[in-house]
A and B are shown apart, each in its own frame.
Chain A
Amino acid sequence: MKHTLSVVVENHPGVLARVATLFRRRGYNIDSLAVGRTENPAVSRMTIVVEGDDVVIEQVTKQLHKLVETIKIYDITDQPTVDRELVLIKVKADAQARSEIIQIVDVFRGRIVDIGPNSLIIEATGDTGKIDAIEASLRPFGILELVRTGKVSMLRGAR
């Protein structure tokens, strides 16, 4: 099962390497990892999606806790959250295909952010399911390049 961990760490150089090394050395499988600064510039937040059963997740969490620069870990898998991922897709688009692509992008509330002679770049945000769906819908046109940020999550409400 996939678990989503929200990990608050010191915004120090090398912290990402520590986390990544820990996962690699202990053989845990990272599905996605997104990291960036928070409202406090001294602190970064990582959203880590990791695959494993409860025993594995417990170990991952405990091992992450042991890192001196880890401040807090929340397992938000079963919590009410807002989840988002951003994707940029460069898709083949000749004159004929364009209108059809634009329709698809509209349906997913995406945006065309660049137009080239034979291609479009599409930006879309949403939860992982939506991003998977837009990717699948555009695939028949020929995806030239695709980049996803990985999931970021935030708990709903006051917490």
Chain B
Amino acid sequence: MRMKGAEVLLRCLKEEGVEVIFGYPGGAVLPIYDALYSSEVKHVLVRHEQGAAHAADAYARVSGKVGVCLATSGPGATNLVTGIATAYMDSVPLVAFTGQVATHLIGRDAFQEADITGITLPITKHNYLVKRSEDLVRIIKEAFYIARTNRPGPVVVDLPRDIMEREMEFNGYPEEVNLRGYRVLKSCNMGQVLLAVEAIRQAERPVIYAGGGVISSGASEVLQELAIKMKIPVATTLMGIGCFPETHYLSLGMLGMHGTRYANYAVSESDLIIAVGVRFDDRVTGKITSFAPHAKVIHIDIDAAEIGKNFGVDIPIVGDVKQVLEEIVPRLEPREKFSEWHRVIDRWKEEFPLTYSESREPGRIKPQYVVEQIYYATQGNAIITTEVGQNQMWASQFYKFTRPRTFITSGGLGTMGFGLPAAIGAKIARPDMTVIDIAGDGSIQMNIQELCTAVEQRLPIVICILNNQYLGMVRQWQELFFGGRYSYTDISLQPDFVKLAEAYGAIGMRVKEAQDVAPALREAFSVTDRPVVIDFWVEREANVFPMVPPGESLYNMLGGEE
């Protein structure tokens, strides 16, 4: 069948089961937009391409499918870069289509030309420039396959305008992919599995250290089975939040720089670390040479290159986390009793709970209180996206996550401006769920134009700005490590967020008193047809505690309570 390249592209997307594309039109992608005009694939028009990448990324994180975004050549494509890098660092399956100038113009510095495959080389799992019509279908198939298999990641497909315009033969979508250098890992080393089983049997002070890999491989249930069967406490990374219910007795919450004291102490005192789908990020381990000094370490990861990259381990197991755990768990006999180890942890939990004091400033609320109230109002039954900074850490500390794919945050790259477009992607993936963006006043201004997208899509997402009129996390570091010299972190000059929300067609609210927090949230959650922005005036110099200073060991935490 003869069709235009753009029509072939959309046929392929349909075959892949793509339901929604987040994008922004431009000259080089006009043929694609023309084909979209009469296509069944839903297109969400964002207001900045970065928003498209983040929305597609969050759609993928929430749904478990591949997220898709589309931008034009040159500036459109380069505006995706931050979003692509974000997805790369957090191992999110994303396919980004970019327009490109016509093939005969490539390399001539044509209008709106950028070498996007060159630019995205270090931040993609793979990328393609389609130079011949006959390669188009194969490349699309490969792009989706690579994005979602093994360790997921973003793939860029650069589409020259003439290839999208020209008619070509479409002979159906291939069933199989033939990439001899890329094989999907199907099994793991059983010898290593047995070693791990033995180590778990013998451990007296074990801790599970679970990360984003648990969520992306769908291993939450089997991980819970392991923890509960063997009575092993579970600490998660920021990316792993939700893979184990934080309301469970065995939950230690998050570990690392802003983790709980008891998680960090447990890791430091443990005799066995079961590291699952993690990459020993410096924000987690603190000073690497003093991480888990007494422990034997099992490391399970699908990416062989992660094993031994930052930290030497005793029992490496390369494999899909879910498959490996499914091999391990049935080989273990349940542990009957809680041990001395649990009593030690209980004492730490009692002695060093996550807590905060009353606000010292009249007319200002404690940010932690707002997060707690959001938790009470939703009963933990919501998807929380965050911006980056203090808001993100308070969200991770004071909201109790019980299910995977409900905490959507930029972990690896720490991308300010992520939360609002992510909330849009999340709500589109799960319209049945309450979606809340916990934001900072600095971060929210990085992609606030996406309010327009949310209004246009009639998405009732709730944006809770923890407004301290500072770039709070940077200010906190300046307070602690730079003698209180607040160099350019005071952002008291701000737009009126209530009026700004209204200007976009959203609902704006302002809350300055603690007693008004819960009623405001209730009111916001009753809105069904548009976004709500709540501007919470929070204590200006509240800090995120506890904290491991950069480069210190997990033992040396600052601040028990804020």
Contacts and interface: CB of A to CB of B under 8 A. Distances in A.
Interface stretch (A27-35, A58-66, A116-124, A150-158): A58-66
Contacts of B121: 17-18, 21
Given A70-B181, A71-B181, 16 more contacts: A9-B181, A10-B181, A14-B129, A17-B118, A17-B121, A22-B122, A25-B122, A58-B308, A59-B309, A62-B304, A63-B305, A65-B304, A66-B305, A68-B125, A68-B179, A68-B182
Contact of B308 (A17, A55, A67): A55
A65 B181 CA distance: 8
B349 interface: no
B408 interface: no
Interface in B143-202: 146, 179-182
Contacts of B182: 68
Nearest to A21: B121
Given A14-B117, A21-B122, A59 B180 contact: no
- The 7 A-B residue pairs with the shortest CB-CB distance, nearest first, are A62-B305, A68-B126, A71-B181, A25-B122, A68-B182, A21-B121, A70-B181
A51 interface: no
Nearest to B126: A68
9 contacts: A10-B180, A21-B122, A22-B122, A59-B309, A62-B305, A63-B305, A66-B305, A68-B182, A69-B181
B122 A68 contact: no
B269 interface: no
B562 interface: no
Contacts of B129: 14
B301 to A, nearest CB: 11
Interface residues of A, number: 20
Contacts of A62: 304-305
Most buried by A among B126, B180, B304, B309: B180
Contact of B146 (A25, A58, A68, A71): A68
Nearest to A14: B117
B221 interface: no
Interface of B: 117-118, 121-122, 125-126, 129, 146, 179-182, 303-305, 308-309
Given A67-B181, A70-B181, A71-B180, A59 B305 contact: yes
A132 to B, nearest CB: 34
B280 to A, nearest CB: 13
A140 to B, nearest CB: 44
Most buried by A among B182, B303, B308: B182
Contacts of A17: 118, 121
A10 B126 CA distance: 14
A8 to B, nearest CB: 9
Most buried by A among B117, B129, B309: B309
A55 B117 CA distance: 30
A40 to B, nearest CB: 11
B319 to A, nearest CB: 15
A124 B303 CA distance: 43
A71 B182 CA distance: 8
A34 B454 CA distance: 53
Interface string A26-46: 000000000000000000000
Given A17-B118, A17-B121, A66 B303 contact: yes
Contacts of B181: 9-10, 67-71
A23 to B, nearest CB: 11
Contacts of B309: 59
A135 to B, nearest CB: 35
Nearest to B122: A25
Interface in A62-95: 62-63, 65-71
A15 to B, nearest CB: 10
A67 B124 CA distance: 10
A65 B307 CA distance: 14
A21 to B, nearest CB: 5
A71 B178 CA distance: 12
